[in-house]
Structure 1
């Protein structure tokens, strides 16, 4: 369990901070993390109420009281852990806004109320970012594809349905200028490509282009070295010429 918790902590440290635009993905990842540690219950339930012994016959037993005290202590401990991670994974302005809450449940409810509700403005925002995306030649293609996949996920997270074939066709129109010929070849294929099929073709194409560039650089470097070696003073080529010239001079002197 300790090893599992350590791995989960390491994974959580890579999670992007909440900035107000990535709430749904951020909240889902955090919830999965809390579920792994069995502490997610503090987000949805209040701290148990303390019970005490009374003088009447219905007084709870010492065992029940002790069990209740243990539940309260566990809740308080788990609440601190969850609250720490919630606040630690926020940008500074959101941290300042939510740190006043001592209850993880209140923080979670406030976040859901502020960012979780479906909103037409939010839908227009994510769709606008998705459509405005454009690939360029001076960045690795697969890195840009990853950005596009995240933009598609943002649209889908807003409960807007777009099939993978449509996602692929939109991505085709986002290719960088140097990929125009490759894009046209894909467009002339008869079969429909899903987004993942298209990404697979793009990954292979980029790998081939990188290899071709490396081979081209190697050839140019080899040619440059040969030219430099041939032109260097004292090379065999010029040594031979020197010998011939000296022989001719001696012949004339004789």
Structure 2
């Protein structure tokens, strides 16, 4: 009966928490991954990624062994379903045939972690190539540059505050050179 109670509690928590999670479409993998890990760790099902499915002896399995296996199977099903439901429809169709949460997680990790490194290069390039113009409000342009910095930080790319201030000053349009 206790597992039924915890399932009800989990069902009450999950839709609310997962509704805050943007559907993963192949972009911003690290952000999606962090949010997914937080939610599923909170729900105490993340262990299915680290622990293999328990093996139950074919002869004379104990009730405890059967219960542990049943719990793992239920948590794997729950984790797998939540991963799949957080994907866009096209990604869902691609990964739905996989029966293990761990298998889906590892394939996503392999595919999108590599693509995120390209995203990091793009962000760094965008930061260095950013230019400010006289015909646009300066504060809006500074805000745009700060958004790039925030994206870099969220990708784990450190940006020193002094470097950021120096970059803003260096990128000011020609009419602001006296201000520099």
TM-score scaled to structure 2, two decimals? 0.70
What is the correspondence of 1:212-251 to structure 2 with a 5 Å cutoff? none
Match status 1:52 vs 2:64: no
1:121 aligned to which of 95, 118, 121? 118
Match of 1:29 among 15, 19, 35: 35
Unmatched tracts of structure 2, length 5 or more: 1-5
Q: 2:158 aligns with which of 156, 161, 164?
A: 161
- How many pairs were matched up? 168
1:122–1:48 CA distance, 2 compared to 1 (3 A): same
TM-score of the pair, normalised by structure 1: 0.52
Residue number in structure 2 paired with 1:211: none
Question: Cα RMSD between the aligned structures?
Answer: 3.8
Give the number of the structure whose alpha-carbon radius of gyration is greater: 1
Shift of 1:100: 1.1
The residue aligned with 2:80 is 83
Work out which structure has the larger RCO, using CA pairs closer than 8 Å and 6 or more positions apart in sequence: 2
**Alpha carbons of 1:101 and 1:20: their partners in 2 closer, same or farther (altered >3 Å)?**
same
Structure 2 CA distance for partners of 1:171 and 1:98, relative to 1, 3 Å: farther
CA contact (8 A) 1:46 1:105 kept: no
Please list, as runs of the form range in 1=range in 2, the aligned pairs for 1:72-111 lying within 5 A after superposition: 72-111=69-108
Q: Unaligned stretches of 5+ in structure 1?
A: 55-61, 178-182, 189-254
- Matched-pair contact (CA < 8 Å) for 1:126–1:154: yes
Query: 1:6 deviation in Å?
Result: 3.7
What is the Cα deviation at residue 23 of structure 1? 0.6
Question: Partners in 1 of 2:114 and 2:88 — Cα distance?
Answer: 20
